Structure 1
């Protein structure tokens, strides 16, 4: 009997790539508020688990920014019909009470997704937020996020280099 597209993806596709990330990770996060001006560097820890029958992974992390503790969660999946990675992201610093939804393409060693954020109190124009995940090897990943102005200019906002614990 032929395998379903999901079963095949777990064997040698995007879902297998996501499952390879399961485990405990420790790293260093760098944060920029202004282009090319490093504002903070601090330790970060993450736990990645499989959820909903290996359809998604939950990426739970904690760290600090300018001495204040924060935590976050990403639910990451691969949308087989549309062939896109998808993420929902919440955290106690950047997102406030919002949930960012992002989607995007596979890269040679991970993915790149884009979402939008904003607030009516700061104007109606939304900013973009591009997140990339690079799988360097089985024990190292790099999670990088870029602010994207309404005009399309990108500036690195955060970068965490994680190593498997």
Structure 2
């Protein structure tokens, strides 16, 4: 994660329905290592679905569980969203799964694919499935390192 520390610009595409065009927005992300390099903190600022948005994420590799873990909080809710997963053999793609409760009951499952394209570009793609189990692409963020 240390190679991701720095300041980034973001381009986000968000889908509410799979057959509709995405909403697009821009933002910034500041990433820095915490606690002797054990954790990566991301502070994200931008727009989501036409509204001002900010969020904070903590990412780490849990040596005991042998999994990547992430915790995310943001201005769209009051819960802490958790995911965990594994990396590809080359370490450039991390795939994580998680779920959250939905208003009115039930839960939504998520799958996220975080890809380090190179030192200056990374992508984060989130898929979700409601109780019907049909997965759809919900969000795609492209991060470009600021010069």
TM-score normalized with structure 1 length: 0.82
1:23 maps to: 6
Q: How many residues align?
A: 144
From the two aligned structures, give the one with the greater helix fraction.
1
Q: 1:66 to 1:86 in 2, by over 3 A?
A: closer
**1:104 aligns to what?**
85
The correspondence of residues 66-145 of structure 1 with structure 2, limited to 5 A, is 66-93=49-76, 96-107=77-88, 108=90, 109-119=92-102, 121-123=103-105, 125-145=106-126
Preserved CA contact (<8 Å) 1:27 1:163: yes
> How far apart are residue 151 of structure 1 and its match?
4.0
What's the CA shift for 1:39?
Answer: 3.7
Q: Secondary structure at the match of 1:20?
A: helix
Structure 2: unaligned runs, 5 residues or longer: none
Larger radius of gyration: 1
What per-residue deviation string (whole Å, max 9, x for no partner) do you get for residues 21-66 of structure 1? 0000002100001114234101121010001111000011111134
Q: Which runs of 5+ in 1 are unaligned?
A: 1-17
Which of 49, 54, 59 in structure 1 is aligned with 2:37? 54
Task: Quote the residue 1:7 is aligned against.
Answer: none
CA-based RMSD: 1.4
